[in-house]
Amino acid sequence: FHRLTALPESFGQLLNLQMLQITDGPLSMLPESFGQLLALQSLNLRYNELGTLPESFGQLRALQSLGISSNTLSMLPESFGMLRALQSLDVSRNKLSTLPESFGQLRILQSLELNFNQLSTLPESFGQLRVLQSLELERNQLSTLPDSFGQLQALLSLELSHNELGTLPENFGHLQALSSLRLNRNKLSTLPESFSELWALQLLELNNNELSTLPES
């Protein structure tokens, strides 16, 4: 627990800082100098009141792990895609309605938690997250997935329950490493023909949809 509402501009002078944790408090703003923390590898800002991130945030090129869940973020800066070292990202329980197009540049991201936001779409660049293994999108407002979604061929676990999905992309069956898939409580009336190509699937939840038939194959 802490009582900080902001960090001073001089905070960016901590040039050797590698790990930072400021959780459970009223922090609502980061200084523009925050992007100068070029050695920072792990950042935990969960349970604060951050509504925005500074545009300089994308300069944190060494950042590997970012936990910023349970804040009030409504958007991420366009520079976010410059966090090329990022492997684990938890931005669940915020107010995100969109992701920047640059999001697909997070090429070595392996774990992504976006559950409990207000996302209605994902950027087309999302399919560029080629090494992503775990993706949580539960309790958003997604009505469609981008056509590029089938390119996430390293994906092992996918959580999409409690959304507004009426269909899945035709290439959904290309997710051939997928072993766990939760699609319950959507509006699915059909599944793509390629669905039967999910040969690695071990767990599948489809309850509370509008399905009357399954693909023949």
Token code pair at residue 118: 């207000």
Mean pLDDT of the chain: 96
DSSP state at residue 91 = -
pLDDT in the model for residue 174: 96
C-alpha distances in Å from residue 196, one per residue of 25, 134, 186: 47, 21, 19
Closest CA to 21 of 1, 39, 36: 1
Residue type, 37: L
3-state secondary structure 149-160: HHHCCCCCEEEC
Q: Which amino acid is at 136?
A: E
Name the band, by pLDDT with cuts 50, 70 and 90, for residue 51.
Answer: very high
Measured CA to CA, the distance from residue 166 to residue 130 in angstroms comes to 25
Between strands 157-159 and 111-113, the pairing is: unpaired
Quote the CA–CA distance of 135 and 74 in Å, as a whole number.
Answer: 20
CA angle 78, 128, 92 (to 5 degrees): 60
Per-residue pLDDT band for 214 (boundaries 50, 70, 90) equals: confident
Residue range 117-146: mean pLDDT, rounded:
97
Q: What is the pLDDT of residue 217?
A: 60
Summarised one tens digit per residue, pLDDT across range 78-127 is: 999 999 999 999 999 999 999 999 999 999 999 999 999 999 999 999 99
Across 159-170, average pLDDT = 97
| Residue 65 clears pLDDT 90, i.e. is over it | yes
* DSSP 8-state symbol, 36: G
pTM more than 0.85? yes
* Residue 110 near residue 86, CB atoms below 8 Å: no
